[in-house]
Amino acid sequence: MRTLAFLPALLMALAPGVTHAITLAEARALAQAHNPELAAARLELQALQAAELQAGARPNPELGVLLEDTQRSATRTSTVQLSQAIELGGKRAARLAAAAQTREQAAVALQAKQAEIRAAVTAAFSELLAAQQQQGLAESSLELARGAAHAADKRLQAGKVAPLEPAKARVAEAGARAELAQARSALLLARGRLAALWSQSPQAVTPAEGDATALPRLPDEQRLAEQLPDAPALRLARLDIARHQALTEGERARRVPDLTVTVGAKRDAEQGRTQAVIGFSVPLPLHDRNQGALLQALRREDQAREALTVATLKLQGEVAEAGSRLRLSHEQVQLLRDEALPTAQTAYDTALKGYELGKFAFLDVLDAQRSLFQLRRQLLQDSAAAHRAAADLERLLGRNPSEE
């Protein structure tokens, strides 16, 4: 009753009848398979693959029929001709390049969304672990408060304490019950956040398997710097530059007029003969040479380059901030584990034993107990903060920097 261990049996007791605890790998697999945002990103990629296919299509030929003198007479002349537009200036190649870059952007966006969902699952899973162990703390706190209240009642019956001490003990027990109710509510919310990542209700999530106080590894600073250029945000920005370059080439190609070739046959009923018809046409770029569209495309290209600079600076700042939060959480957890918690546990054990022997007042036990459980809660919060920071790094870099 004096100590608290985070036992798997305690976690399983939270969901009677459940025999399987979900792991982080299973939660990630469920989210990858059933997350609606990922499904939308996959469909977007498929749509742009179809758009790339369409971009490679050549112009269709045109069939024309011309009748001179619509009356049925010997003077009628009929012409059948086939016209084919021939794209010049590299229009089709530029169109294909732009479509390919757009499709590649969708592929990278899908990878980025997958990394984002993985990171969200990691953060939500660690929050669920923390909520489970927080409920375990609350249950232990309530058990200790009940034991202390029972001991205070016995000491009152023995005439060793004033009636005020049992009253204080009952107040502490009521506070512990309120904390337990709050912990149960937080656990339900944590389950809901995790279940939402694969479109399920909170009841569909079984207890999470793991230790909330197990910290993620600290990434190597050099590895972080090496992985930074490959981050999804920068890849998307570079692809956007390439896409705008292809669009610029397309606008430049539109300055070259297309050639239309026509072949056919003309039947002269009066003379009773058929003549071949051959011709071509080309627009004359006298008034519209696509100057405005080309200038607009060039400015968009410059804008995409500036966006890459902005994305680089923003990413560097966010990665540095997440790394700092991860290192700070590590330090705080180590301090709690190595110094604060052992000291608080010893103080509580001493106060409880002294109270049982009549050496300390009940208020001393309550203070020691409150300090111990506050530190344990702080340990869970700092551990969860470390997992959130690690998940942010994974989301920003598109991968787990500590696993490669």
With CA atoms as reference, report the closest residue to 294 among 243, 253, 258.
253
CA-based max dimension of the chain: 137
Q: Delimit the domains of the chain by residue range.
A: 33-397
The whole-angstrom separation of Cα 401 and Cα 399 is 6
DSSP assignment letter at 360: S
Closest CA to 369 of 201, 141, 158: 141
Task: Compute CA distances 320 → 293, 341, 390, whole Å.
Answer: 41, 30, 12
**What is the pLDDT averaged over residues 168-195?**
86
Phi (first) and psi of residue 173, to 5 degrees? -65, -40
CA angle 230, 234, 237 (to 5 degrees): 140
How does pLDDT run across 265-302, given as a tens digit for each residue? 988 877 778 888 899 999 988 888 889 999 999 999 99
Q: Answer whether 4's CB lies under 8 Å from 136's CB.
A: yes
Q: What is the pLDDT of residues 336-368, one digit of tens each?
A: 988 898 998 898 888 878 877 777 776 677 788
Length of the chain: 404
Locate tokens 């605890």: which residue? Answer: 21
Distance CA 251, CA 181 (A): 65
Tokens standing for residue 177 = 């019950």
- Predicted local confidence at residue 15, as pLDDT: 40
pLDDT band at residue 144, thresholds of 50, 70 and 90?
confident
Name the residue type at position 363.
Answer: L
Is it the case that residue 26 has pLDDT exceeding 80? Answer: yes
- Architecture in CATH of 33-397: Up-down Bundle (1.20)
Q: Is 258 helix (H, G, I), strand (E, B) or coil?
A: coil
Region 369-382: mean pLDDT is: 87
Report the pLDDT value the prediction gives residue 70, as an integer from 0 to 100.
65
Binned at pLDDT 50, 70 and 90, residue 14 comes out as: very low
Confidence at 306, pLDDT banded by 50, 70, 90: very high
Task: Tell me the average pLDDT across 179-198.
Answer: 90
- The mean pLDDT value of the chain amounts to 85
Minimal CA–CA distance to 127: which of 389, 380, 398, 401? 380
Among 126-135, 140-149, 276-285, 369-378, the minimum mean pLDDT is found in 140-149
Query: Which residue's structure tokens are 């024309």?
Result: 64
Q: Considering the entire predicted model, what is its pTM?
A: 0.79
Instruction: Give the closest residue to 308 by CA, choosing from 241, 359, 366.
Output: 241
Residue 96 CA: distances (Å) to CA of 101, 193, 295: 9, 42, 21
List residues bridging with 274 in a β-sheet. 267
**Mean pLDDT computed over 18-41:** 87
DSSP letters for 226-275 = HHGGGSHHHHHHHHHHHHHHHHHHHHHHTTSPPEEEEEEEEEETTTTEEE
Highest mean pLDDT among 16-25, 135-144, 148-157, 339-348: 339-348
Q: Give the H/E segment covering residue 279.
A: strand 273-281
Give the mean model confidence (pLDDT) for residues 160-173. 72
| pLDDT attached to residue 296 | 94
Which whole number is the average pLDDT over 82-104? 93
- 52-90 tens-digit pLDDT: 999 999 999 999 988 887 666 667 788 899 999 999 999
pLDDT at site 68: 80
Q: Containing H/E element for 67?
A: strand 62-68
pLDDT score at 19 = 46
- Among 21, 91, 35, 56, smallest CA distance to 253 is for 91
- DSSP of 71-135: SSSTT-EEEEEEEEEE--SSHHHHHHHHHHHHHHHHHHHHHHHHHHHHHHHHHHHHHHHHHHHHH
**CB-based contact 216:386 (threshold 8 Å):** yes
Alpha carbon distance 333, 377 (integer Å):
11
Residue 307: the pLDDT is: 96
User: What is the C-alpha separation between 282 and 258, in angstroms, rounded?
Assistant: 6
Q: Tell me, what's the pLDDT at 29?
A: 92
pLDDT for position 137: 85
* Residue 192 CB partners (closer than 8 Å, separation 6+): 201, 202
**Would you put residue 159 in left (φ > 0), alpha (ψ -120 to 50) or beta?**
left
Distances (CA, A) of 168 to 36, 161, 202, 275, 363: 52, 12, 37, 114, 8
Residue with tokens 């290192």: 327
Q: Report how far residue 100's alpha carbon sits from residue 84's, in angstroms, rounded to the nearest whole number.
A: 26
Choice between 273 and 321, residue whose per-residue pLDDT is larger: 321
pLDDT value of residue 156: 67
pLDDT at position 5 over 60 = no
Q: Which residue has the tokens 């693959």?
A: 49
Task: Report whether 348 contacts 2 (CB < 8 A).
Answer: yes
Q: Which of 126-135, 169-178, 254-263, 379-388 has the lowest mean pLDDT?
A: 169-178
